[in-house]
A and B are shown apart, each in its own frame.
Chain A
Amino acid sequence: MRNWITTPVMSLAFATVLSVGAAMAAADGPAGTFKYAEQVKLITMDPQQQSGSGVPYLRPVYESLFEMSPDGKPVPLLATGYKIDGLTVLITLREGVSFSNGEAFNAEVAAANINRGVKLGIIEGLKTVESADAADPYTLRIKLSEADPAIIDSLCFTGGMMLAPAAMADPAIDRNPVGTGPYVHSKDQSREGEVQVYTPNPTYWDKDQIGLARYEVWEIPDDTARLNALKTGQIDAGNWLANPQSAIIERTAGLKLIRNTGGLNYHVIISDREGTVVPAFADRNVRLAMAHSIDRAAFGKAVLFGLADDSYQPYAKGNWAYDPALEGVYAFDLAKARELMAQSKFPDGFAFDMPSIPIYQSRLEALAGFFKEINITMNIVPLEPGTLARRSRTTDFPATNLVWNTNTDPKFLALRYIYEDGAYNPFKAKPSDELLSLAKAGLESVETDQRGPIYRKMAARLAEEAFLIFVANSPILIGTSEKTAANPTVVYRYGEDSINLRGLKSND
């Protein structure tokens, strides 16, 4: 039996990181306002129906069972510990917690939350959960359908956020959130489509952590407008992608660009790696030639405005599965790429179709230019925004291009791309025995110390087979004012584009 109790020591360590802010908050009580700008519009405040970005709208109200410590380890929040025994996960819950509407938080409610999330099926991290129930009033039991070492990680994010029973029954839950978090959503003060306002939760279980009288999340999708709001002090912080505006923040006096842990890895996927539609893709020399033909430095500078790192593996620096030995494994080398093409069965080149959505157009134009140098013609086929993921799961295209959250557990890499029935393996290509055995070995332990070496080997093997060609890692970018940068209570959540609200105080 694997017994991995999360000890109070870990909680204490995480709490220490936030202690400065918490102490200040405790001393002064809630005061002032903090204004955060979100680049995506608010779609829903139901965490279990949240399929994309927008977590900053949820965090003030909802707390998850666990959260990530600054070094990326799950630590308890609404939970107090857990143990995993095969396909059963037992999670002990914090007692004396109630939702802001007065309903009690206990194992029965937590189980109802997990079961609802499983039924809705939106959250990828809950796909391995069969069901949940209450082992006792404060012990949640989760039954898994298959071994899942990342289940606790999943409960750090939307999959582990707890909704009040009344909220779960509310058809308008997407605008009436009720959780256990430090703040409550003020519908009266919010303006739909413009700003969501949060005020202190009078029933919060850890009142000392409430440092603000008011927290606002502004919906400003236009990057320039968000930048102007930051410059003029209308907002204290906001999130950005790697674009010209974030590059401006970096070089503007009085503003600061924070590179938070995690981010997005942009990669090319050779879906048809057995050559069903494009025979050349079955040739490893061709795939390697493509990987070597990409000038990642130029790509990062021209397309991602110098805000990204070159990438040769699925994980970013700082992640427990990251392998520094893989840096430059298929570095830009045009002579080598041409040599590999000459050695392949397709020395005269070939053509293939690549799907594109507007935000990837410039990336694909750059890649098409690189591939052209080795006589490969990549035809860019425009798709409607929002359809790339679905079309990439079909045999409509022999290759595709996607992003991957670099903090996603490596087990999802196998689930998406490696297994024969992987979501993004539409041609049902059979994985090599080595990849398959590594993918399965990675599920046998919950300890990252044991899983790390396995996934590093998997990344090395992926680099050899070159059907996943990693291009660039863009970190999570948060633009802040000088005051926010100097605010000691501002702690950025690991792997998220949001600020930890527990202990956060205003800049003034």
Chain B
Amino acid sequence: MLKLIVQRLLALVPLLFIVSVLTFSFTSLLPSDPVDLIIGDAGTQEQYEMVRHRLGLDEPVHLRYLQWLGRAVQGDLGTSFFNSVSVTGAVMQRLPVTLSLTVMSAIIAIVIGVAAGVAAALRPRSWIDRFATLGATFGQAVPNFWFGLILVAIFAVNLRWFPATGFTPLTQSPWEWLRSVILPSIALGTSSSAAIARQVRSAMVGVLQQDYIRAARAQGLPFRRVIFRHALTNAMVPVVAVLSFQITVLLGGALIVEQVFAINGLGTLAIGAVRQQDIPMLQGLVLVMVALVVAVQLATDVIYGLINPKARPS
């Protein structure tokens, strides 16, 4: 297992390099210009050239990239084009926000998805199964930002149970933190719970027809033990793969949901950076997101190996 982890971490280096080259190249091809935004409507051509020079945008792309890379390998991802905020500082400040949202959404997705999937699989073609299938279809079809708006209208604006906007850090108040992430996490996690429910149902139906399950039941093992110890553990093997993909989807979805709830996470930062063409910020964000996705996949592989001995590297 350790070998797998080391292999994955080593693979991360060329991956990040390729991603950084692509991000730098693509952002350089964009037609908009951050200098326009900096100098404003009253800016003159001289000012334009001056700011362009100050930001190093008059240098060839490959030179700019190499300069950036030189600093990046020393842990310095640079500074925003628009102010003195460091990219590393901005990303690290928002990372806990997006991670809070993603983790809470993943918990909601897993709890709802596994429960609905197991319930549907235990009584195939029953009303529970049909209801779960319908719910899963609804969950996957509904855009999370729209669902978020509905949740805000009902639970924040009308009932005043939760705040409509904003995020409270966990360190400041655990209770307020929970209140601030519940609605966005439900909005974000619903579609993933639907995907997980479908996968769990499908896997469970298959596992429940296996001989070893019948044998366990015949031996008189308690129903719950058969389901949760024997059937679900085996059914979770394909589910873990789906879960890995869904967590990546949640990370991406957080970018939109953060806007709806005015949560200041990586998504809000990314959208601002894209609008302003803040290349250093974009570059840093993409690298962090790639690293997060790789970390999720690595964690998946580890969990996969733990629950499925056949998948462990020799």
Q: Is the CB of B262 within 8 A of A220?
A: yes
B74 contacts chain A at the CB level, 8 A cutoff: no
B156 contacts chain A at the CB level, 8 A cutoff: yes
Q: Is the CB of B42 within 8 A of A123?
A: yes
User: Contact mask B163-200 → A, CB, 8 Å, 1/0?
Assistant: 11111000000000000000000000000000000000
Report A32-88 residues with CB < 8 Å from chain B CB.
41, 43-44, 51-52
Q: Is the CB of A193 within 8 A of B165?
A: no
- Which of B37, B40, B84, B157 meets A232, CB within 8 Å? B157
Q: Tell me the nearest residue of chain B to A126, going by C-beta.
A: B42
- B34, B38, B41, B268 pick with most chain A CB within 10 angstroms: B41
B30 contacts chain A at the CB level, 8 A cutoff: yes
Q: Tell me the nearest residue of chain A to B272, going by C-beta.
A: A41
B152 contacts chain A at the CB level, 8 A cutoff: yes
- Which of A44, A51, A174, A387 meets B43, CB within 8 Å? A51
Report A160-196 residues with CB < 8 Å from chain B CB.
171-175, 191-194
Cα–Cα, bound, A184→B44 (Å):
33
Q: Tell me the nearest residue of chain B to A45, going by C-beta.
A: B83
A94 contacts chain B at the CB level, 8 A cutoff: no
B222 contacts chain A at the CB level, 8 A cutoff: no
- Residues of chain A within 8 A of B152, CB atoms compared: 228
Instruction: For the complex formed, measure the closest distance between the CB of B150 and the CB atoms of chain A, giving whole angstroms.
Output: 12
User: Contact mask A383-396 → B, CB, 8 Å, 1/0?
Assistant: 01111011000000
Q: Is the CB of A171 within 8 A of B84?
A: yes
Instruction: For the complex formed, measure the closest distance between the CB of B259 and the CB atoms of chain A, giving whole angstroms.
Output: 5
- Residues of chain B within 8 A of A339, CB atoms compared: none
Q: Is the CB of B262 within 8 A of A222?
A: yes
Cα–Cα, bound, A58→B165 (Å):
24
- A44, A193, A389 pick with most chain B CB within 10 angstroms: A193
Q: Is the CB of A51 within 8 A of B40?
A: yes
Q: Is the CB of B260 within 8 A of A225?
A: yes
Q: Is the CB of A389 within 8 A of B157?
A: no
- Residues of chain B within 8 A of A43, CB atoms compared: 82-83
Instruction: For the complex formed, measure the closest distance between the CB of A195 and the CB atoms of chain B, giving whole angstroms.
Output: 8
- A191, A228, A385 pick with most chain B CB within 10 angstroms: A228
A121 contacts chain B at the CB level, 8 A cutoff: yes
- Which of B39, B44, B83 meets A175, CB within 8 Å? B83
The count of residues in chain B whose C-beta lies closer than 8 Å to any C-beta of chain A is 45
Known contacts A222-B262, A386-B33: A231-B41 contact under CB 8 Å: no
Q: Is the CB of B165 within 8 A of A228?
A: yes
Q: Is the CB of B41 within 8 A of A51?
A: yes
Q: Tell me the nearest residue of chain A to B163, going by C-beta.
A: A234
- Residues of chain B within 8 A of A229, CB atoms compared: 164-166, 262
B93 contacts chain A at the CB level, 8 A cutoff: yes
Cα–Cα, bound, A299→B67 (Å):
50
Q: Is the CB of A389 within 8 A of B36?
A: yes
Known contacts A121-B44, A122-B42: A228-B264 contact under CB 8 Å: no
Q: Is the CB of A122 within 8 A of B40?
A: yes
Q: Is the CB of A44 within 8 A of B259?
A: no
A224 contacts chain B at the CB level, 8 A cutoff: yes
Q: Tell me the nearest residue of chain B to A172, going by C-beta.
A: B84
Cα–Cα, bound, A507→B272 (Å):
32
Instruction: For the complex formed, measure the closest distance between the CB of A392 and the CB atoms of chain B, giving whole angstroms.
Output: 9
Size class of A's contact patch?
35 or more
Q: Is the CB of A385 within 8 A of B32?
A: yes
Instruction: For the complex formed, measure the closest distance between the CB of A129 and the CB atoms of chain B, giving whole angstroms.
Output: 13
- Residues of chain A within 8 A of B261, CB atoms compared: 225
Instruction: For the complex formed, measure the closest distance between the CB of A151 and the CB atoms of chain B, giving whole angstroms.
Output: 15
Cα–Cα, bound, A384→B32 (Å):
5
User: Contact mask B246-271 → A, CB, 8 Å, 1/0?
Assistant: 00000000000001111010001100
Cα–Cα, bound, A263→B220 (Å):
78
Known contacts A121-B47, A232-B160, A386-B33: A44-B82 contact under CB 8 Å: yes
Q: Is the CB of A51 within 8 A of B38?
A: yes
- Residues of chain A within 8 A of B44, CB atoms compared: 121
Report A384-411 residues with CB < 8 Å from chain B CB.
384-387, 389-390
A127 contacts chain B at the CB level, 8 A cutoff: yes
Cα–Cα, bound, A386→B48 (Å):
14
- Residues of chain A within 8 A of B33, CB atoms compared: 384, 386-387, 390
Instruction: For the complex formed, measure the closest distance between the CB of A242 and the CB atoms of chain B, giving whole angstroms.
Output: 20
B85 contacts chain A at the CB level, 8 A cutoff: yes
B52 contacts chain A at the CB level, 8 A cutoff: no
Report A226-269 residues with CB < 8 Å from chain B CB.
226, 228-229, 231-232, 234
Cα–Cα, bound, A121→B47 (Å):
7
User: Contact mask B268-293 → A, CB, 8 Å, 1/0?
Assistant: 11001001110000000000000000
Instruction: For the complex formed, measure the closest distance between the CB of B170 and the CB atoms of chain A, giving whole angstroms.
Output: 14
Instruction: For the complex formed, measure the closest distance between the CB of B93 and the CB atoms of chain A, giving whole angstroms.
Output: 6
Cα–Cα, bound, A219→B269 (Å):
12
- Which of B157, B259, B272 meets A228, CB within 8 Å? B157
Q: Is the CB of A225 within 8 A of B262?
A: yes
B122 contacts chain A at the CB level, 8 A cutoff: no
Report B83-132 residues with CB < 8 Å from chain A CB.
83-85, 89-90, 93-94
Q: Is the CB of B36 within 8 A of A192?
A: no
B31 contacts chain A at the CB level, 8 A cutoff: yes
Instruction: For the complex formed, measure the closest distance between the CB of A473 and the CB atoms of chain B, giving whole angstroms.
Output: 19
Q: Is the CB of B262 within 8 A of A174?
A: no
- Residues of chain A within 8 A of B40, CB atoms compared: 51-52, 122, 389
Q: Is the CB of A234 within 8 A of B84?
A: no
B19 contacts chain A at the CB level, 8 A cutoff: no
Q: Is the CB of B36 within 8 A of A387?
A: yes
- Residues of chain A within 8 A of B43, CB atoms compared: 51, 121-122, 390
Instruction: For the complex formed, measure the closest distance between the CB of A128 and the CB atoms of chain B, giving whole angstroms.
Output: 12
Known contacts A193-B90, A194-B166: A231-B83 contact under CB 8 Å: no
- Which of B84, B157, B160, B275 meets A385, CB within 8 Å? B275
Cα–Cα, bound, A193→B259 (Å):
12
Report B20-70 residues with CB < 8 Å from chain A CB.
30-34, 36-44, 47-48
- B30, B262, B275 pick with most chain A CB within 10 angstroms: B262
- Residues of chain A within 8 A of B268, CB atoms compared: 193
- Which of B39, B165, B275 meets A122, CB within 8 Å? B39
User: Contact mask A113-125 → B, CB, 8 Å, 1/0?
Assistant: 0000000011110
Instruction: For the complex formed, measure the closest distance between the CB of A251 and the CB atoms of chain B, giving whole angstroms.
Output: 15
B296 contacts chain A at the CB level, 8 A cutoff: no
Q: Is the CB of B84 within 8 A of A174?
A: yes
Q: Is the CB of B260 within 8 A of A222?
A: yes
Q: Tell me the nearest residue of chain B to A49, going by C-beta.
A: B38
**11 other A-B residue contacts (CB within 8 Å) besides A172-B84, A384-B32:** A44-B83, A51-B42, A173-B84, A192-B89, A221-B259, A226-B165, A228-B165, A234-B163, A384-B33, A387-B32, A387-B36
Which 8 A-B pairs have CB atoms at the shortest separation, nearest pair first? Answer: A51-B40, A384-B32, A228-B164, A124-B42, A194-B264, A225-B262, A172-B84, A174-B83
23 pairs, CB–CB < 8 Å, chain A vs chain B: A51-B37, A51-B41, A121-B43, A121-B44, A172-B84, A175-B84, A191-B93, A192-B93, A194-B167, A219-B264, A224-B149, A225-B260, A226-B165, A228-B157, A228-B164, A234-B165, A384-B30, A384-B31, A385-B275, A386-B277, A387-B31, A387-B33, A423-B42
